[in-house]
Every structure is written in C-alpha cells, then in structure tokens.
Chains A and B, each alone.
Chain A
C-alpha cells in the first residue's frame, strides 16, 4: 500500500536573496547570488525532478528587530539583501518549459492594478505557468519603507480580501474572446468585450480595464501561507495551494481537514485546494550518515542562540533580546507580524524563552532523514496518514549539492514508488496542480 500520487514544490526560503555563501558547498554563492544562474539551475533541476512549481518567498526590508539593529542580519546575510522575485520569475520562465513559477507579492505594498498587470504579463511570457503567493506583509520596517505604519493584522486581511477581489475583476475585464487579431479586417480587439470596472471599495478603487490581453491562465494560480483564522479563510476562498507548517502528522492532518472544511463553506470543491507541507529532508548515502549530518546541524543551530533569537525577532517584528532568556515571555506579548506562528512559538507560558527558542529551532513538520529511498518511504507513510496533497521542499541554505540530492536522489526514489509525476500532462500550472 502506498500513498496516492502527490505534488512537490520548492520553497525558496530566502527568496531572491543570499543563499549558501560561506559554508562547505557554497561555491561562488557569496558573489553571484544576485545573478540568475543559480536559480536557472535550480528551476531546471526541479523541473527534471517532477516538481510542480518553484515558489519564491520575498520581503522588502533590511530587518532591524533584534537589538534594534540591522547588525546581525547584515553580518550574516540573513533575510537581506534580497531582490525582486517577479523579475527573476520572467527570466526563469525562459529556461523552463512546464515548471510553475510562483512569486511572492505583498498586497499591503502594491496597488491591485499593478499586481494584476504584472502577473498577467508574467503569465503571458511563461505561457501560463505563473503563480502569485499572496502575503499581506508582516514587518513594521517594511511598511515604513512605503511611508506608513503597518496596518493591524486583521485589517491587513480585510484589505487583502478586497485587493484580490479587485485584481480578479481586472483579470476578467477582457472577455476571453476580446482579441480578434483579424489581420485582414484590421481589427485587433473588439472594444465591446473590454470593460471598465469603476470599482469603488473600502480600501481600493480602480477604473480599469487592464491594459493587457487575457493571459493563458486568465489569472495566476494563487498560493497563500498564513496560518491565522483570517489567513486560512482567505486561502479557503481563493487559493489553489496552501503552504502549511503544522508540527507533526496529527496536526498536519487536522490542518488539511480544517482547510478543506473551510473550502466547502466557501462553496468550493476541496480537491481544488492543495495543502502542501514545508519539509527539509536531510540526505546521506547511508541512513547513519544522514542522521549524523542532521545531528551536527541541530547542534550548530542550537549553539547559535543569537541566530535563533534574531530570526524569531525578525518574523515577529519584536526585539527578543530585551527579554531574559531563562524566563517565560510576558503573557500579553503578541505579534502584529506572523501572528499565529508567534503565538504557537510563545507557548502557554510554562517554558522559558531559551526552552521555547530551542524547541522551535527545528522548522520541520516531520522527521525526514536518510538515504533517498528511506526518505521516500517516510514521505509515503506521512501522505498515507495525512491524506494528501504534497510537500514543499525548503532547502536553506540553498546550494547545488542539496538541489542535486533532492532532484537526482529523492525524485527518482519517489518515482520508483509511483508517488510523483514522471512528466507534465498539461501546459498550465493550474492544470498540472489539479491533475491529481
């Protein structure tokens, strides 16, 4: 007995930022991270490895949370510098044929018209392989770059909802048959099929129509990652794939069921929304070799409390250096950033900050460690228990050796079990995502 065929995505956890740069297999990462080459190699490799899509995270600030300074982040190239993934998406689309390419764009910092036009353009140039990871932004410092204070968490989601509604109207502002391209009659488009919107919302307004033609997918595939109630509702209403990070198989299963229930409430077929779990498998030529590697990595991470605190401070936009390490965090401390993940991190107040930070240093929902064949079996088992729909591989720091382990080690092992695609049956990302 094995699981049903599932989907794989690659989560580029540090976005179009500095990947591996001063570690063993980093190559020339320190100096060429801002060039497309490494990402082209990644995209082509995962396409070969049967991945549905590459998803690029993004953020638009130099973090400043930890100790109220950018020192740690810039010294270690953590979350900064980082370039615009939408530009890279266009380049990657020209070096791949079937792979989906998903860029993160923050609703709070864009006008819906800009996102609608940008995504439509990318969907055209990629021949229908573009996805939009919808985020509302979380960092105070990011908002300040745009000249305002970060709106409160729930308000951001209310704004995001209207943002997506308007963007969808813009994508629909051209009827599918509006373009005639009638060379003989000299009629390019039929103006009666291109409509203004005169949208007036609570937060956004736009006249429309969009000044580009309907793209192959009509609108990009939507992805979303928020784990808060509002986030899950937004996801259940709009998105086709959700990036999930609940710890352990039980919670993974519960999370998926919750999303599917919400999808039904929004009148959707729950099979049209894929819940994909973030994992970072560790590989070796033997299971022992892999376990030792994982143990070394955990030791290194846990001996770097500063790094753990700086990372968590950045996510929560809270300077955790101000709290004593050996006491619990204050009860009333909440994050206006990644709200649900911070609440989860803080716990119930019975453990100290040190204990919580160490307990949470592992980013993984599940333990995936061993030879490619071992990890394939572990993934098979998890999917059987959870019910679907697939995994997002997070490789941080990303370097070509790890990519090869996944695409040339794990992928063939999964294929031998019939668990992932051996080719793409469709041209559009949406069709491939919904193919099974």
Chain B
C-alpha cells in the first residue's frame, strides 16, 4: 500500500494552455480546489499539500517583469483560509498549508493551526519552511535572510515552542459541567513561560485542544539541516529526488535520522514528487511525454527562471555557452547541489535544454503507470508519491479516475479511510 498526495500552490494554475478552461479567472476562487479535493478524496489520496511563499520573485532578469508576464509564482494567495472551505466539501482527505518559521510568530501559527484543526475535524497539518528568498525577509522588515543553518536552528526552537503551546490544554480540560457551571478546569490549562534563544511565549493557547492535539507536520527541505529537522519533527516528508537509487538513499537517511532522534521510522512517511504522463495507450502517452520534453527544452527562459527561483541568483546574467556557473546560495542548498551535479561537464545552455530534472519516468496508460509505481516503491522502500502536475481538471481526472482506479485495482492504495484524522490515516499503513 502506498500513500498519495497532491502538491500545489494557491496560485495561477494552468491558464493559457489547451485544457485551462477558465483558469485565468478562477484560480483565486475556491471552486477549482473544491473540485480537486473531491476528486482526490474519491481516489483515496491522504492529503493535498499547499506550498506557499510571501514574495514577488525578481531574481531572473533582476526585476519582476518575466514573473508577472508568465504568472509564475506570482500572484499567490494565502492557503490558510482556503483549507476550511475545502474541508466543508470533503470528509476524509487531509490538507497541509505552508507557514514559514522564519517570519510567522509561533503563538500565531499554533493558534491558527489549532483553529483549522478544529474546523476540519482533525484533517489539518502545517508544512514548515524556513523561507529561502531575500524578498520574503524584506517583506517582513528584515534586510536579509537569516543564514541557512541558523534558519533551521530557529525552526527547531519554533516547533518546540508550538508543541508546548498545543499541550497547554490537557485532553480532559474541557469539563462541560452544565450543572455546576464549569466549562473548563483551570488546573488543566497551563502557561509555559517559554524563553528560548530566538522566541519566548507565556501561553497558554487561548483555544481548546484540537482533534489531533498537535496538527500533522510536513517538511520538504532536502538540505542536511532540513532533513535532520524533518526526521526529528514531522509526520510526512516530501522529497524531490532523481531516480530510484536516490529515493532509496533518501528514505534510508530519514530512517537513520529518526532512529537517532528516538523515533519509530514508520511514524514518518516519505512521499516522492512525481508527474506521471498518462494516455489511452502507452504510445499516446509516450508521444505526449516527448512533446512535453521538447517544449521544456525549448523553454530556455523558463528554465533559467526556475534556476533563479531556487538559488536566488539572476541566471539571465550568465553566459549560456559557458560552463554552469560556480555559485553559492543561501537559498535552496539541496537544489543547487543537485543542479551542479547534473550540470557537470555541461554548458548552461546544454543544462537548461536537457531533460534532467524529473524524479522518475512515469509514462503510459493508467495501468502501466500503476505498475511502474509499484515497482519503484518496492525498490525505493518509500511510502508513496506526491503528484505535482499542471493543475487543470483534465489532468486531475486522469490521475483521480484513471491512475487512482488502476492503483486501487492492484490493491496499492486505500479503498476508504479507516481513521478520522489526517495523522491516523498517515499511520494506517
């Protein structure tokens, strides 16, 4: 059995492509996401994970023009208010929304998360990021980002404080004694008087203990510090890695870190990001994948911009026909390390027009792809996959009603939800 999730942002989705529908105007309304959530729930997905960022990118080209023209990573809305709306239209699927530990006060995050956990009946989780873009820092009044490893030390303390806040109400603190007129028992609600290196908070939280007690936690950072943080704290890790070997190594490393942190490795599910290409025949899917590869190879600007996004460096400045530039970053270190590895011996042009940045090839009919996913899971030993693809209803239908049904026929995905909370469902198998 494998867990499935869908990776997306609350941003402009497909908007000027063949199957975009009204994507240009409906991306900021709930209906599209309601439709997606219901479809994924039908297919037995564990969760939707909303990535987020609080800045207008301007790394590529050293201004925001390209980004705004392409609607790439901007505009982007806050996923937190969307989650309860999606929960109202679903019963079982869980939702992760991203908050940044660097700029979100822990008390605020703990309270918002507890509130949404109540509103969703225990189907909410936080995806924790430390922020990698200097513009985010500047939007929150800082001149520059905190140093990469420092951000993770802060994150450690941040989540430690949140956990303490979530525990400020005992499970039996709400008494609801109507006759004696006692709603909550004061002796079971405690301040924490937390005073750390970066944060302090008196507590207690001013809402009751939520259905999951502690909302589920997710993490995506692939750097050494990021992985250690994830292994120590979270219920699910989403991983963007290339090839089955690296997938296997990734899961093993998480397992080792978890054992070192005194956790049962089964308590954290590692889901690998994939973008399956489906067709009614294997040939049709392969043609489609080939067209996609060609389009990607031709999209030099877009690929340079993606590099800029991940590294914070302006790739418009570099000579396309010189070797991949030797740069350092305070942004996404694992991504830059991967780019450098894949670009070895290549010019920048060769690198951005080559097909190097996908985790594994999953191309074919729904049944073919289900078989491929089965094999990968057997080899890599991971816990499942996170779909990340062009968000329009045709692709969602292909995944939910084509692939989802094929995986279920093979007994590889859930046929219903046994737990009532997101964490229970994650821990079910």
| A interface list, Cβ under 8 A from B | 24-29, 32, 37, 41, 44-45, 48-49, 285-286, 289, 292-293, 296, 371-373, 399-401, 403-405, 407-409, 411-412
B79: Cβ under 8 A from any A Cβ? no
A105 to chain B, nearest CB (A): 30
B287: Cβ under 8 A from any A Cβ? yes
Least CB separation from A411: chain B residue: B21
Task: Please list the 5 inter-chain residue pairs (A to B) with the smallest Cβ-Cβ separation, ordered nearest first.
Answer: A27-B401, A408-B21, A401-B397, A404-B393, A404-B394
C-alpha spacing A378/B22, complex, angstroms:
22
Q: Determine whether the beta carbon of A400 is less than 8 Å from that of B401.
A: yes
Known: A45-B393, A400-B39. A25 touches B398 (CB 8 A): yes
Least CB separation from A415: chain B residue: B22
> In the complex, what residues of B have CB within 8 A of residue A27's CB?
42-43, 397, 400-402, 404-405
Find A24's partner among B23, B38, B365, B392 (CB 8 Å cutoff).
B365
How many A-B contacts are there with CB distance less than 8 Å?
93
A192 to chain B, nearest CB (A): 47
Secondary structure type dominating chain B contacts: helix
C-alpha spacing A26/B31, complex, angstroms:
22
B239 to chain A, nearest CB (A): 28
Least CB separation from A41: chain B residue: B35
Most buried by B among A29, A41, A289, A411: A289
Most buried by B among A27, A37, A45, A411: A27
Within 8 A of A (CB), among B29-80: 31, 35, 38-39, 42-43
Q: Determine whether the beta carbon of A28 is less than 8 Å from that of B284.
A: no
Most buried by A among B19, B284, B398: B19
B190: Cβ under 8 A from any A Cβ? no
Q: Determine whether the beta carbon of B393 is less than 8 Å from that of A285.
A: no
C-alpha spacing A400/B392, complex, angstroms:
12
A sample of 11 inter-chain contacts (CB < 8 A) reads A24-B366, A41-B35, A286-B291, A289-B288, A292-B284, A293-B280, A293-B284, A401-B398, A401-B402, A404-B19, A404-B392
Q: Determine whether the beta carbon of A285 is less than 8 Å from that of B397.
A: no
Least CB separation from B39: chain A residue: A400
B195: Cβ under 8 A from any A Cβ? no
A30 to chain B, nearest CB (A): 9
> In the complex, what residues of A have CB within 8 A of residue B353's CB?
none
> In the complex, what residues of A have CB within 8 A of residue B398's CB?
25, 401
Known: A27-B43, A409-B394. A285 touches B401 (CB 8 A): no
> In the complex, what residues of A have CB within 8 A of residue B38's CB?
37, 41
Q: Determine whether the beta carbon of B21 is less than 8 Å from that of A25.
A: no
B281: Cβ under 8 A from any A Cβ? yes
> In the complex, what residues of B have CB within 8 A of residue A401's CB?
394, 397-398, 401-402
C-alpha spacing A400/B35, complex, angstroms:
11
Q: Determine whether the beta carbon of B18 is less than 8 Å from that of A409.
A: yes
Q: Determine whether the beta carbon of B288 is less than 8 Å from that of A25.
A: no
B369 to chain A, nearest CB (A): 12
C-alpha spacing A32/B43, complex, angstroms:
12
Q: Determine whether the beta carbon of A404 is less than 8 Å from that of B397.
A: yes
C-alpha spacing A372/B16, complex, angstroms:
13
Known: A399-B397, A407-B21, A409-B19. A44 touches B402 (CB 8 A): no
Find B21's partner among A32, A293, A400, A412 (CB 8 Å cutoff).
A412
Q: Determine whether the beta carbon of A25 is less than 8 Å from that of B402.
A: yes
Least CB separation from A293: chain B residue: B280
A164 to chain B, nearest CB (A): 38
B335: Cβ under 8 A from any A Cβ? no
B160 to chain A, nearest CB (A): 43
B20: Cβ under 8 A from any A Cβ? yes
Known: A24-B366, A45-B393. A408 touches B20 (CB 8 A): yes
